[in-house]
Amino acid sequence: MTRTLRTVLIAALAAVTLAACSTGEADVAASPPAFDGSHVSASSFAAAAEVEGVTVIDVRTPSEYAEGHLPGAVNIDVEDATFADKVAQLDPAADYAVYCRSGNRSRVAVDYMTQAGVTHTVGLEGGIGAWTGSIEK
């Protein structure tokens, strides 16, 4: 490999590396994830929660919800006997961002919702414990 070609390749690699590490405005906020039933990072979940028309669902108990919840979240306790009835009332074409305390109950909720035909969901990996945004009481 000639010295000139090596220099060009190193310069190109450096340019690509620097571009990938840029802190431009587009990099500040995460893109909303696909509402495909997956669990995502707090930043991706925050982006999903900001999508127009999305409903944020807290599947913890009412007492946990009262201690603090994500802004605008509605409480549908996955462990309550009425959970199935409440899911049946949801618009199956709408988008839902679902969370709990650690991510375990939201997985159960998302799985149930998917089986019930509510398939446009995303969960918060790590639950509210991973959340870095504001909390309402």
| CB contact set of 94 (below 8 Å; sequence gap of 6+) | 53, 54, 55, 118, 120
What CA–CA distances, in Å, run from 123 to 4, 5, 31, 115, 126?
50, 48, 15, 15, 9
Whether 100 sits among the annotated catalytic residues: the reply is yes
Active-site residue, selected from the candidate residues 48, 73, 78, 100: 100
> 10 Å Cβ neighbour count for 118?
22
User: Which residues are tagged catalytic?
Assistant: 100
